[in-house]
């Protein structure tokens, strides 16, 4: 089975109403390969606007809406939190979970991340589960151990079979927002490790999971990164805020 390629835009705490409009109009002009899905993840206040505009502008079917985070709770007295039901009402289909900024700045543990993945799947949404090592962890050759420790609690909590509905984004922390992209060979080697780690539980599921690379991906480096056999697209931060550059990344991606 051919895996779907996914290009996800993580706007972080950036963007505004005019960028939403520009992006929808711009993306509607892109000729996407058949097997490619695009996901745009703006901040919470813009989700409903995005889905409304996507309808009025007749946005192409393979462009989807995602959120950058979600609560691990279903509903209730959790001031400031956003539930999966709320996201669904805004036509969200994907949810970024466990981004390294959530893990490091907001102290999200791998077990909390696992609870969020469970909540997202229970709601019928697709989690984009982020994993990745820091610079010192890579220097100390701990990359594989760190990735295993981030993945295992999710496997324990949802079971390997449900990974068929999970997208994984490998984002080396040292490459995020720094301009220091992992070389295609290094990214491929780590993606292969992640697939092999999943295959310890089920080679069938491992072969089906879309693995995205993230960390300073741009229009100039995306083609060689996405050409690697175990890289099925990207999670794009800075370059996804520039409509023209993001359009190039989307149109360069082969299915």
Site string for ligand PGA, 74-113 (x = CB under 6 A): ----------------------------------------
Interface residue with ligand PGA, options 147, 176, 206, 211 (CB under 6 A): 176
- Using the rule CB under 6 A, is 217 a contact of ligand PGA? yes
The Cα-based distances of 135 to 109, 115, 185 in angstroms read 19, 27, 17
- Using the rule CB under 6 A, is 238 a contact of ligand PGA? yes
Q: How far apart are CA 213 and CA 128, in angstroms?
A: 11
How many residues of this chain interact with ligand PGA, rule: CB under 6 A?
13
Cβ atoms of 169 and 131 within 8 Å: the answer is yes
Tell me the window of 56-64, 153-161, 231-239, 243-251 that interacts with ligand PGA (CB under 6 A): 231-239
Catalytic residue among 64, 99, 101, 137: 99
The Cα-based distances of 2 to 34, 187, 209, 210, 232 in angstroms read 12, 20, 10, 10, 10
- Using the rule CB under 6 A, is 216 a contact of ligand PGA? yes
Q: Which of 201, 211, 212, 127 is nearest to 165 (CA)?
A: 127
Could you give the angle at the alpha carbon of 225 between the alpha carbons of 219 and 227, nearest 5°? 110
Tell me the window of 25-33, 37-45, 78-86, 171-179 that interacts with ligand PGA (CB under 6 A): 171-179
Q: Which is closer to ligand PGA, CB of 9 or CB of 63?
A: 9
Q: Residue with structure tokens 């480096």?
A: 221
Residues that bind ligand PGA (CB under 6 A): 10, 171, 176-177, 214-217, 235-239
């Amino acid at each position: 089975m051919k895996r779907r390629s996914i290009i996800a835009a993580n706007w972080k705490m950036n963007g505004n109403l005019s960028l939403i409009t520009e992006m929808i109009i711009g993306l509607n002009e892109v000729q996407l390969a058949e097997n490619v899905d695009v996901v745009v993840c703006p901040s919470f206040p813009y989700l409903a606007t995005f889905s409304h505009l996507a309808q009025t502008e007749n946005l192409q079917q393979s462009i989807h809406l995602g959120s950058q985070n979600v609560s691990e709770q279903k509903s209730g007295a959790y001031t400031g939190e956003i539930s999966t039901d709320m996201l669904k009402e805004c036509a969200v289909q994907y949810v970024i979970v466990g981004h390294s900024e959530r893990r490091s700045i907001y102290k999200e543990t791998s077990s909390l991340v696992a609870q969020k993945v469970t909540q997202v799947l229970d709601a019928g949404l697709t989690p984009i589960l982020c994993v990745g090592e820091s610079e010192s962890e890579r220097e100390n050759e701990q990359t594989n151990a760190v990735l295993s420790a981030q993945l295992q609690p999710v496997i324990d909590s949802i079971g390997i079979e449900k990974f068929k509905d999970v997208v994984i984004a490998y984002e080396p922390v040292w490459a995020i927002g720094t301009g220091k992209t992992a070389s295609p060979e290094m990214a491929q080697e780590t993606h292969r490790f992640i697939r092999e780690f999943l295959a310890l539980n089920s080679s069938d599921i491992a072969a089906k999971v879309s693995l995205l690379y993230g960390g300073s991906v741009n229009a100039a480096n995306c083609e060689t990164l996405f050409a690697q056999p175990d890289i099925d697209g990207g999670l794009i931060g800075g370059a996804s805020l520039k409509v023209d550059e993001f359009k190039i990344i989307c149109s360069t991606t082969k299915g």
